[in-house]
Amino acid sequence: MQLVQQILFILLVAAAIFVFSKKAKFISRNIKLGREEDLTDNPAARWRNMALMALGQKRMFDKPLVAFLHLAVYVGFVIINIEILEIILDGILGTHRLFAPGLGSFYSFVINFFEVLAFLVLTACIIFLVRRNIVKVRRLAMNELNGWPKSDANYILIFEIVLMSLFLIMNSADRALQLKGHEHYHDLGQSFWVSGLIAPIFQNASIGTLVAIERIAWWLHIAGIFVFLNYLPYSKHLHILLAFPNTYFARLQPQGKMRNMPEIQKEVLYAMEPETVPADTPATDHSTGFGAKDVTDLSWKNLLDAYTCTECGRCTAACPANQTGKLLSPRKIMMDTRDRMEEIGTNRDKKAGETNDKKLLHDYISAEELRACTSCQACVQACPVLINPLDIINQLKRYMIMEESNAPQEWNGMFSNIENNFAPWKFSPDERDKWAEEMNG
C-alpha cells in the first residue's frame, strides 16, 4: 500500500511540473512577441529595485494596514511552502516528517512559526474577501472587473483559506496521533501553537479515524499546492512570480522622461535648421511605422508588465482622468494588453493565424480612453511592482496621431501652430516678444 502511494505521489509531482512548464512556455512565447529592448544596464540598481519593490513591497506601505495584511499573505504563503520540500521528500521516500529527527526541538519551533503565519494568511484572506464582496472598496468593485477578474480574485482567496486550514487540520490530527503513541507519528514533545487549540476536538477519535483525517488533509494540502501552482499562470496572481523579473527589468531613467523617436527628432531639427542636413543623408525609413497598433509593436517589457499586473487598481484609483468620470482606466489598459496577447498566442498554437483583423488599438483599447490620458504619471507612481501603463498609452497615441492622423480638431490646430510657428500658439515667431514691448510702452 505504501509503495502504491509513493508511485501515485511521484506521478502527481511529474504531472504538476509538466502542466506548469507547458503554460510557462506559452507565456514566455507571448512576451517574446514584443520588440527587443535592452534593460540590462546598472545591475546593482536593478537588484535594489527588486529587493525593495518585489520583496520588500515598499510602495504598498502608503496604506499601512492593507500593506501589513498583504505582506502577511505573501510572506506567510511563501515561507509556509518551504515545508513542501519535506512533504515532497516524504511522499517520494514513504517517510513521515523526515526532517524532525535531525532538527530536534528546532523542528517544533519551525512548524510553530509556520502555523502562526498560516493563521495570519487565513485571517488576512478572510478580511480581503470582506473588502471585495461586502465593503466593496471602489477600486475593487469597478465594472472592468465584472466576470472572470472578480471571480478569479475570490477563487484565489478561498483557495488560500482552504490550503491553510488543511495545513492546520493535518497538524492537529498529527499531534493527536503523537499523544496516542501511534507508530510513525513520533512525539515532538510539545503541542503546536495554533493546531494545538484544535487538537482537543480529536482527542476521543479512534486511531483509524485520526490517521484517515491526517492522511486526507496531507494529500489534499499537497495536491492543492500543485493545483495552485498550475492555476497561477491563468490568474492575475501570476504576479507572485513575475513581480521579481518585472521590478528587476524596470526602466531606470527618471519617471517623467518620455522616450522620443530619434528619426522624428532629426526631421524636426532639419525642418527648423535646414543648413544642418548632411548632403548624403538617406531618406527616413518609415517602413516600421510610428508608435504601436498591436502588442507586436510594443516592447517585451510592456508585455511583461501586462502579465505582471495584479489588477489591484491602485493605478486607476490614482488616475485623475478616471476620478473625473472619463473612460480611461490604466488597469484596463494592462488587462486588455494581456488579453490580446493571450488571443494571439492561442491562435498561434492552434496554427489558425489571425482569422480576424483585430488589433489592440480600437478593438481592445479605444481612442476615447487614450485621449483622456494627460501623461501625469500618477498610474506609474502608484504601481507597487513598477508597471508602466503610460508607456503603452503613449505608444498607442503616437500611432493614432502619426499613422492615422486621428486627433481631435483642437489638437490639429495646435500641431499646425507648432509646425508653422514653432509654438502651440497662433503667433508668428517674429511677434512673440511684442507683449514685452507693450508692457514697456
pLDDT by residue (tens digit) across 146-190? Answer: 999 999 999 999 999 999 999 999 999 988 888 888 877 877 777
Element (H, E) at 40: none
pLDDT of residue 435: 74
* For range 107-131, the mean pLDDT: 91
Going along the chain from its start, the domains and CATH numbers come out as 2-31+63-248 (1.20.950), 262-269+289-426 (1.10.1060)
* For range 258-271, the mean pLDDT: 77
Cell numbers standing for residue 99 = 526532517
Element (H, E) at 307: helix 300-308
pLDDT of residue 281: 58
CA distances from 122 to 24, 98, 324 (A): 28, 26, 37
DSSP state of 157: H
Residue 236 CA to its chain's centroid (Å): 6
pLDDT at 336 over 60: yes
pLDDT at 284 over 70: no
Q: Name the band, by pLDDT with cuts 50, 70 and 90, for residue 285.
A: low
* Sign (positive or negative) of CA dihedral 196, 197, 203, 209: negative
Helix (H, G, I), strand (E, B) or coil at 271: helix
How far does the chain reach from its first CA to its final CA, in angstroms?
104
- The residues pairing with 299 across neighbouring beta strands, listed in sequence order, are 35
Q: Could you tell me how many residues make up the chain?
A: 441
Q: Which amino acid is at 251?
A: R
CA distance 76 to 81: 8
Helix (H, G, I), strand (E, B) or coil at 299: strand
pLDDT of residue 83: 80
pLDDT at 220 over 80: yes
